[in-house]
Structure formats: structure tokens, C-alpha cells
């Protein structure tokens, strides 16, 4: 929260003029769907900006990115989809960050968690819009992390046990944690992060991934997971990638930003 006195001093103006200007900004932000500017009156009051996205802009973005995701040259041997270039574009990452921040704008979140490597840019972008720090869980912790807490988890089709760890000092007890990642294949990594949050006596709030494998058995799929895209199937022979919308739009309440 920033007090009106801050703006009054910076712009050498009366608080009443600042108040009027903030009103103009509030209406503009509302019309453009870029976020909400809230003014709290009184001596301890001030102004808070919550960045967000409108349903219209999010829907358009999903439709634009879906077209790019189905480009045939994204098919990799083994039936994987190449996403690395998309998750390295600052503009795209900013919109993904704003979308996920919008989904959790009414939840209280203290920290964003992800696992190295490809979830990091998404975590950083979401954290930037929520104005909170992020933590990176690693499979290979380095000496520069200090002491860590580790958990074992079943990876892939549950036939391999792996380890992930997090620096002990990077997460406080009782912190409310939002998990993000680039891709959920079977859910093992997400489960690992949930156990890790539990080990730290922190609180799991939710998890949103950029894309998920649509073939996960609905019976075992973690219902706390939200995805923006679902990779339905990849026809390697005819070079067709079948992508559907995930449940992000259905699970997000945009009313605060409309």
C-alpha cells in the first residue's frame, strides 16, 4: 500500500488532486482490464494496485497461443511438444504471469514455488505480479543453497523414485504457497512439491500449470490443479498436435477485473 502523502510529495500536489487523478487511473485500468486500483481512506490509508487480466484478454491470448502450440515443427521424437521458445518470450511470460496472478488475486499467497528448470520463468512472472518472492525446488541441490529438506517422489508412470529438495531457509513455516510449473505429465512432480510443502509445515494453496497431459486418468488427477492448455494427442506420422483449452478460464473468477 502506498500512501497518498507519497504521491503528494513526489508530484508536489494537494492530496485532493492526487485523489482525483487516482480516480481517473482507476476508471482507465477498469476499462482496459489491466488491474484494480483500490483506495483505502483514512489516516492509515493509501492506494493498492492489483494487476490482473480481463476474461476477454485471457481468452484471446489462449486462442493465439494455441495456434502457435499446434505448429507441426514443435513435435519432438518420443511424442513431446517443444515449448522452450514460448516460455522464453518476455511478453508471453508477462501475460501468463498476469493470468495466474488474476486466478489467485483473492487468495492470500506468501510465496510462489516451482521446480527447476522450466517452471522458473513462470514462477518469476507470477511472483512479480503478486509482488511476493518465489522459491525454486531442485533435483540437484548445490552447496550454495545451504542445508536443505528433501522428499522422495514417484516420477513418470510411477516406476522411478526421485528426490527433490529445497533450501531450509527459503520457506517459512505457515507460509501460504502457490505452485506453478510448465507441464504436468503424470502429476508426480506436483505431488512431490505438495509433500515438500507439508515437510516445511507450510500451506498448499493451489497449483497452476501452463500445460498438462490430457491423458492423465481423471480418477487420479489432482483436482487442485489448474491448467491453461491440455495436450490431447500428438500424431507423429501426420504431424498433428491436438491442443485443447485447460480449465483455467472455467476456474478463474475475473469479476474483480471486469
What is the binding site for a copy of itself (CB under 8 A)?
Answer: 76-78, 80-85, 88-91, 93-94, 116-118, 120-121, 124-125, 127-128, 131-136, 138, 140, 143-146, 167, 169-170, 183
CA 206 to chain centre: 10
CA dist., res. 163 & res. 151, Å (int)? 6
Q: How many CB atoms lie within 10 A of CB 34?
A: 17
CA dist., res. 130 & res. 50, Å (int)? 8
Nearer to a copy of itself, 71 or 253 (CB): 71
The number of residues in the chain equals 258
Nearer to a copy of itself, 47 or 93 (CB): 93
* Nearest-approach distance from CB 223 to a copy of itself, in angstroms: 26
DSSP helix/strand/coil, 170: helix
Nearer to a copy of itself, 132 or 214 (CB): 132
* Nearest-approach distance from CB 168 to a copy of itself, in angstroms: 11
* Nearest-approach distance from CB 236 to a copy of itself, in angstroms: 14
* Nearest-approach distance from CB 257 to a copy of itself, in angstroms: 19
* Nearest-approach distance from CB 176 to a copy of itself, in angstroms: 16
Nearer to a copy of itself, 162 or 249 (CB): 162
CA dist., res. 187 & res. 189, Å (int)? 6
CA dist., res. 203 & res. 208, Å (int)? 16
Nearer to a copy of itself, 23 or 146 (CB): 146
* Nearest-approach distance from CB 81 to a copy of itself, in angstroms: 8
* Nearest-approach distance from CB 234 to a copy of itself, in angstroms: 12
CA dist., res. 249 & res. 227, Å (int)? 9
With the CA atoms of 60, 65, 70 and 75 taken in that order, what torsion angle do they form, in degrees rounded to the nearest 10?
Answer: -170
Nearer to a copy of itself, 64 or 224 (CB): 64
CA proximity to 92, closest of 201, 26, 182, 31 = 182
CA dist., res. 137 & res. 167, Å (int)? 8
DSSP helix/strand/coil, 171: coil
Nearer to a copy of itself, 83 or 190 (CB): 83
Amino acid at each position: 500500500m502506498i500512501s497518498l502523502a507519497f504521491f503528494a510529495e513526489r508530484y508536489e500536489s494537494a492530496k485532493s488532486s492526487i485523489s482525483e487523478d487516482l480516480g481517473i487511473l482507476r476508471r482507465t485500468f477498469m476499462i482496459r482490464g489491466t488491474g484494480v486500483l483500490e483506495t483505502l481512506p483514512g489516516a492509515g490509508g493509501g492506494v493498492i494496485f492489483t494487476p490482473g487480466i480481463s476474461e476477454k484478454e485471457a481468452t484471446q491470448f489462449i486462442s493465439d497461443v494455441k495456434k502457435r502450440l499446434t505448429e507441426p515443427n514443435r513435435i519432438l521424437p518420443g511424442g513431446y511438444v517443444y515449448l522452450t521458445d514460448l516460455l522464453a518470450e518476455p511478453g508471453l511470460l508477462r501475460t501468463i504471469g498476469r493470468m495466474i496472478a488474476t486466478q489467485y488475486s483473492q487468495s492470500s499467497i506468501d510465496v510462489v514455488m516451482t521446480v527447476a528448470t522450466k517452471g522458473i520463468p513462470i514462477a518469476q512472472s507470477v511472483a512479480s505480479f503478486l509482488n511476493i518472492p518465489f522459491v525454486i525446488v531442485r533435483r540437484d541441490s548445490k552447496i550454495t543453497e545451504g542445508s536443505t529438506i528433501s522428499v522422495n517422489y514417484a516420477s513418470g508412470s510411477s516406476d522411478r523414485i526421485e528426490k527433490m529438495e529445497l533450501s531450509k531457509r527459503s520457506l517459512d513455516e505457515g507460509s501460504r504457497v502457490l505452485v506453478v510449473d510448465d507441464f504436468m505429465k503424470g502429476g508426480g512432480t506436483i505431488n512431490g512439491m505438495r509433500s515438500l510443502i507439508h515437510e516445511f509445515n507450510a500451506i498448499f494453496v493451489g497449483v497452476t500449470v501452463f500445460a498438462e497431459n490430457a491423458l492423465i486418468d481423471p480418477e487420479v488427477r489432482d483436482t487442485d490443479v489448474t491448467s491453461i492448455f491440455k495436450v490431447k494427442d500428438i500424431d507423429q506420422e501426420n504431424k498433428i498436435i491436438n491442443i485443447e483449452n485447460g480449465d483455467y478460464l472455467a476456474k478463474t473468477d475475473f469479476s474483480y477485473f471486469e
